[in-house]
Amino acid sequence: MAKEEKIDPFENAKKQIEKAAEKVSLDPNILNQLLMPEKVLVVNFPIRMDDGKIKVFTGFRSQHNKSRGPTKGGIRFHPDVTIEEVMALSTWMTFKNSVIDVPYGGGKGGVICNPKDLSVSELEHVSRGYIRAIAQIIGPKKDIPAPDVYTNQNVMAWMLDEYEKLTGESSPGVITGKPIELGGSLGRDKATSMGAFYVTEKLCELNNKVCKNTSIAIQGFGNAGYYLAKMLYETGHNIIAISDSKGGIYSKKGMDPTEVYHYKNNNGSLKGFPETKNITNNDLLELDVDILIPAALENQITDKNAKNIKAKYVVEVANGPITPKADEILDEKGIMIIPDILSNSGGVVVSYFEWVQNNLGYYWSEEEVMVKLKEKIYKGFDEVHKQSIEHKASFRTAAYILALARLERSMKFRGQA
């Protein structure tokens, strides 16, 4: 009986790095440093809840590598946050920033909590308490947080306000994904989706067959999943399946994501959407479609279900949705995967633009932001494709090879090898 795959996101991240490093004979001194974060902070902070009781929350902030600039990455509020997950996500952020060529290292944070169980007042207290706990290691030139799972611009506004109270200075560049009124960038709300959309366009360009009557299934219908589904639908793609944490819906003839979005908001669930069949998240992953888009959480495709994946192409919008063993199985099946560090990099690119605008004190139009984003994504895709051909490697390994080359150069210039 085959040994069941161990799913540890941090171990998965390290395996992806090692696979690419072996292809290019990376300097072992560089590799050893990239396999571990530079700093991981664990904090326990007390919050007075609405009922007057004190509850202690645990949070993390991981800073993976600073050779290319200050660390950058989101903060997630989720009951299943672990230190290993945060370390993995900060590692992926280093490579994401490097492959798309923005001057950042990788960071990531999280608090173990369920925002759905918190009142607005409690959520604000948790947001401010977490920032107070990590304030010494973040800053516009140190580490720049942003929204992630179950955090949004309102949470970022509270965090920015708390940080500025602590420092006594106006520091809009310490947080990205902020409201426009506090120095946020136009276009940030749909940046991840736009980046994934541009990647899908390039995929279509590379494989002309994909563009004709394309059937698409999207797992995850949050901000990124919804906007991406909407843009793909509006450009002629056929969205035949959508799911969220409660389950999904399927229709061979397709559906309008905007109508699905309004239905979900009114009914609290996708289930029962007219002229669709209710399906599970795993059912969605195994549908016979042209493009499968995992846009939920990590470890959705594993060695248990990879053999059942029928999609011709997978565009990863979630972080780490495919485990290393599953990756090998899909590769053997001839399924082309556009890796997360390229396909979901739109968010960090526009976060970088936001940070630049904060530093300049001069703000761009949404059209300018999108033009610059498209240019960045297209260039990144072309560079990864070039590495894929040169090294006869998958897109994932090629993306890591490209990122490693940039990281190796910056680390050697700093005398770190």
Residue positions annotated with a catalytic role? 108
Give the DSSP H/E element, type plus range, for residue 360.
helix 346-360
d(CA 66, CA 64): 7
Q: Are 115 and 143 in contact (CB under 8 A)?
A: no
Closest-CA residue to 322 (of 240, 394, 241): 394
How many Cα atoms are found within 13 Å in the side-chain-facing hemisphere of 11?
Answer: 8
Give the DSSP H/E element, type plus range, for residue 277.
strand 277-279
First-to-last C-alpha distance (Å) of the chain: 43
Tell me the three state secondary structure of residue 58: strand
Bridge-based pairing state of the strands 215-219 and 291-294: parallel
**Exposure string over 371-387, b if 16+ CB within 10 A, otherwise e:** ebbbebbeebbebbbeb
What are the two backbone dihedrals, phi and then psi, of residue 294, each rounded to the nearest 5 degrees? -75, 115
In the numeric block, the tokens 């080359």 are attached to 405
What are the two backbone dihedrals, phi and then psi, of residue 7, each rounded to the nearest 5 degrees? -105, 95
